[in-house]
Amino acid sequence: MRAAAPGKLILSGEHAVVHGAPALAAAVNRFAYAEIELIKDDLEFYLGDYPLHFSLSESEFYHKLETLSKIDQRRSNDPTALLIYLIHIFKRTYGLKFPRGLRLRLQSDLPIGSGMGSSAAVILAVLRVLHEFFDIPFQADKVFPLALEAENLQHGRSSGLDPYLALHGGFVLFQKGSAEPLPQSDLPFLAVDTGKPEATTGECVIAAAKEFADGRLAKDFAAVTRALCQALENGDAAGVRDAVRSNHRLLCRIGVTPPRVQEFIERIEAEGGAAKISGAGSIRGNAAGMVIVFHDEPSTQRLAKDFGYRLLSLKGEPHGARLV
């Protein structure tokens, strides 16, 4: 029994969406996968991306849960924490006993911690397969709060955007927990992987929060996001570039675009294109995860190679979590 859930890219509004501003984002055709099977005893996990394999008895599970509760997960890179929380939330919600005798295998083709919503995709893939295994209806209005709770435990304060897209797929304008679906067309951008950020998403959200304290910056981000939305709808290439460049400068202002990535984006702009980080970025180090680029592909490929970055081939994904 196997399930998949898509990752996402944010075209505009990351960080600001946590503070009530809109964000424009799309699910993409990269997935997290969860597979479940019966075994003799205990609860086993295979995390293929690390790789990591561990087994927990019931007493070990609760000891681990208590230990994790004393750690600020926003600053932790422990890959086991999200799964322990998720099993706990699922079991508690449906009044189930400890799920002894199960093996859960996870695999992903999403870069971990790089702004593509890998945590939310894992959460929804696991929830989808658990609902099927325990013969519980997979209803979006009941599943979303569980996914949001797990994401909050992992990142501290989730806007809900990542779990929404992993659950539903599509291209949306998202604000304060509500999503306005937009036409799923070929979006005119490229995605470049600058490498895994040194800082966690939670750390970046904490660091950026002070910049949003008086509400003015959230309004600036909101204006840029709505301008980009309008330019995309009108097929206005110059308007798209202007909005993306403005968004990039706002993201630099809150300190989540490392200097090396800023240098890459300056080269893109010097050739007439536009680019910005997509996701939390990083408050230290040289990498920021994903950068979306509005520029021609051969030139973007050449510049990415100069910086040692990787150009990804991505498409919009209209569907959310499902059995595969």
**3-state secondary structure string across 194-210:** CCCCCCCHHHHHHHHHH
pLDDT top residue among 274 and 48: 274
Cα separation, 256 vs 280, in Å, equals 7
Weakest-pLDDT range from 53-67, 161-175, 238-252, 281-295: 53-67
Cα separation, 239 vs 284, in Å, equals 31
Buried (b) or exposed (e) across 278-306, using 16+ Cβ within 10 A?
Answer: bbbbbbeebbbbbbbbbbeeebbbebbee
Per-residue pLDDT tens for 109-150? 998 778 899 989 999 999 999 999 999 999 999 999 999 988
Return the pLDDT at 12. Answer: 96
Cα separation, 323 vs 127, in Å, equals 11
Per-residue pLDDT tens for 66-94? 887 776 655 556 678 888 888 989 999 99
- pLDDT over 90 percentage in the chain: 67
* Rg from Cα positions in the chain: 20
Return the pLDDT at 297. Answer: 94
Query: Going by C-beta distance under 8 Å and a sequence separation of 6 or more, which residues neighbour residue 62?
Result: none
**321 with 124: CB under 8 angstroms?**
yes
Per-residue pLDDT tens for 156-197? 677 899 999 999 999 999 999 899 999 876 667 899 999 999
281 DSSP assignment: -
Return the pLDDT at 201. Answer: 84
Per-residue pLDDT tens for 41-64? 888 888 877 778 888 888 888 888
**32 with 7: CB under 8 angstroms?**
yes
Q: What is the mean pLDDT of the chain?
A: 90
